[in-house]
Amino acid sequence: MDLVSTGRMISEPDSDPVSGKVVWIPGKSLWIAGMTLVAVIGGPMTVSVDVLVVFAVLTALTICLGHSVGMHRLLIHRSFETPLWLERTLVYFGTLVGMAGPSGMIHAHDIRDWAQRQQACHDLFAHRRPFLQDAFWQMHCAVALDHPPRFTIENRVARDPFYRFLEATWMLQQVPLALLLFAFGGVSWVVWGVAVRVAVSLTGHWLVGHFAHRGGEQGWRVDHVAVQGYNLPRFGLVTFGEAYHGNHHAFPESALLGIEAGQVDLGWWFIRLLSHLGLASEIKLPTNTNRRAGLKRVAKVVAGPDAQRKICPVVSTLRR
């Protein structure tokens, strides 16, 4: 098997994306189970208009600004550049999602990306198993490959003292937020601002990953890879653009995920705002990044009886 090296994941002669076993990760599992239990029990008991507002605002800050823009597009893919103070702020918001610290997020993303780009990969990386089994695997386990690739992380992240602090304390970062919420709104604000938010964010992240790798709308495909990405247009708004996963597979370095006409990408809107303010530069788009090997345009872009094939001007110059 000819193995593709992707960024921080370097294929060794014996690297194998298939052979390995799924192992239970106690800390990860207890963290998610605990947050979910508090959310399920405490959420209905403490619901009110004010806690829903707190939940919505903090979810937008952590998922959109933090995870989608800060962790995913900036820290992982370097889709744009921004001052270090702003980068650290966005990554901090991303850490508050409750998924992992900066290095943990990079490793989890890159090992999956590396495996999916091979000709075959383990079922966990591909979300191939049934719904409930995939939920358990993704949120409570990890795959321990017999022969993984070599992981190297850039010094600007590995040696950054703030990122190292976040990596060592990412679960504890909920404590200052919880104290602040308690001071202003009591227990109900803590339940909805921490437990419900974290539980919904992590479950939602898995749901997007599950369905976006199994089927849906597809404007582009990549030949000779183990896993294809698909768009979930109905969920583009609430996921801040992350549901356009087929586009992301096609143009992984692009800061713009909603590349087709009509695809609302709130994360991109925020990056454009930063650009107008002089806080974002070197923005990568499908038109100024290297084209993936095997990338092909799919003739039918938009599903539905009255759909017309349209493409956003940003990719209108790309050859099919």
Residue-wise pLDDT tens digits, 42-89: 999 999 999 999 999 999 999 989 999 999 999 999 999 999 999 999
Confidence of residue 4 (pLDDT cuts 50, 70, 90): confident
Contacts of 86 (CB under 8 A, 6+ apart): 274, 279
Burial label, 292 (beta-carbon count in 10 A; 0-12, 13-18, 19+):
middle
Has residue 3 been placed in a domain? Answer: no
Lowest mean pLDDT among 39-53, 263-277, 305-319: 305-319
Confidence of residue 227 (pLDDT cuts 50, 70, 90): very high
Structural domains of the chain, count: 1
Distance CA 42, CA 57 (A): 19
Q: What are phi and psi of 250, to 5 degrees?
A: -70, -40
| Mean pLDDT, residues 36-43 taken together | 98
Residue-wise pLDDT tens digits, 130-186: 999 999 999 999 999 999 999 999 999 999 999 999 999 999 999 999 999 999 999
Residue 1 has pLDDT above 90, yes or no: no
- Determine how β-strand 295-297 pairs with β-strand 220-222: antiparallel
State both tokens at 302: 């938009």
Has residue 35 been placed in a domain? Answer: yes
Q: What are phi and psi of 261, to 5 degrees?
A: -60, 135
| Mean pLDDT, residues 1-28 taken together | 90
Has residue 39 been placed in a domain? Answer: yes
Structure letter (DSSP) for residue 81: B
Confidence of residue 306 (pLDDT cuts 50, 70, 90): very low
DSSP 225-270: -S----B-GGGTTTTTTTTBHHHHHHSTT-S----STT---HHHHH
Question: Cβ atoms within 10 A of the Cβ of 314, count?
Answer: 18
Residue 301 has pLDDT above 50, yes or no: no
Distance CA 18, CA 26 (A): 23
- For residue 143, what is the enclosing H or E element? strand 141-145
Has residue 320 been placed in a domain? Answer: no
Has residue 1 been placed in a domain? Answer: no
Alpha helices in the chain (DSSP H): 26-46, 49-59, 84-95, 102-116, 123-126, 131-140, 155-158, 161-169, 174-185, 187-190, 197-212, 245-250, 266-276
Where in the sequence is the domain holding 306, given as residue range(s)? 9-315
Has residue 267 been placed in a domain? Answer: yes
CA dihedral in degrees (242, 248, 249, 252; nearest 10)? -130
Has residue 271 been placed in a domain? Answer: yes
Residue 125 has pLDDT above 70, yes or no: yes
Instruction: Select from 243, 236, 269 the least CA-distant residue to 255.
Output: 269
Percent of residues, the chain, with pLDDT higher than 70: 92
Lowest mean pLDDT among 33-37, 285-289, 302-306: 302-306
Has residue 4 been placed in a domain? Answer: no
| Mean pLDDT, residues 106-128 taken together | 97
